[in-house]
Amino acid sequence: MAKKRLLCFLIVLLALNGFCQSDKPFYKDKGHGWYNYEDPKPQSEKQLKDDYRKPVIDWKAVQIMHPDRLNKLIEDVKDYALMFPSHENVKDYLKLQGVAIDRSREYMESFMYVVQTNPELSKENEIPTSKFGQDEKHRIKVEKIEQTLAENRDKFALLYLYAPNCGYCAKQQPVLEYFVKDSGWQVKPVNIQQDQKAALNFNIAQTPSIVLIRRDSPDWLLISSGIIAMSELKERIVRGLGLI
């Protein structure tokens, strides 16, 4: 038994001696690394290039490449050029951009030719690009809104739900007063602090709120919940006429 104990002691002693004589013993390096908040060594340019492979560009395939794939390739080449801004990498990115611009220009030239030779496909009257065309479209829109309001002022009316202590209501009221004079519509003010039932019936969560009602029907439609300008008010009323 004594011999066995002696043998075990010698084995442990030899192991400890080998550990202490290692080139980088643990107890000498234990303060390094995370424990000492050391920053990792910066990667070399070669290591970075190994991590970020240069995108392969097939210049023949680029000419007929799907737009989604082409856009993805352009972004990848741009990112690589930002990482490694050599003349060659930047040149590749600019050449790809040029391909995309040329393809877009070819499409627009074909588009304009088709529209010019097929007037029935043109949307220039619906979506004019010129300033005077846009002005005329706006004039026609306003004229139609005013006509629709005039045709329906005896069939519909507005409820204006407000609160005396509401600052926004004080700003909304003059707008509605002008709307009445301008359109001839009837607007009935409702103080929700005095008529809480009205607020519940129309599910009013805040003031000012404006409700569109039909004179011969119990149906109604919330036009606005919050302050609203005159032009938007008229557009919403006309939009809602066909909904109740």
Ordered domains of the chain (ranges, CATH): 45-105 (no CATH), 143-241 (3.40.30.10)
The pLDDT of 133-149, averaged and rounded, is 90
In this structure, what is the dihedral angle of CA atoms 157, 158, 159, 162, given to the nearest 10 degrees?
-160
pLDDT band at 115 (very low <50, low <70, confident <90, very high): confident
- Range list of H helices, 84-220: 87-117, 131-152, 167-183, 196-201
Contact 80, 54 (CB under 8 A): yes
pLDDT score for 232? 96
Number of H helices, E strands in the chain: 10, 4
Mean pLDDT, residues 37-61 taken together: 72
Q: What is the model's pLDDT at position 5?
A: 59
Inform me whether the pLDDT recorded for 19 exceeds 50.
no
Q: Please write the tens of the pLDDT for every residue from 61-104.
A: 999 999 999 999 999 999 999 999 999 999 999 999 999 999 99
Tell me the pLDDT tens digit for each residue of 153-191. Answer: 999 999 999 999 999 999 999 999 999 999 999 999 999
For residue 213, the SS3 value is strand
Q: What percent of the chain has pLDDT over 90?
A: 62
Asked if residue 210 has pLDDT above 90, the reply is yes
Measured CA to CA, the distance from residue 13 to residue 202 in angstroms comes to: 90
For residue 60, give Cα distances in angstroms to 63, 79, 90, 96: 6, 22, 19, 12
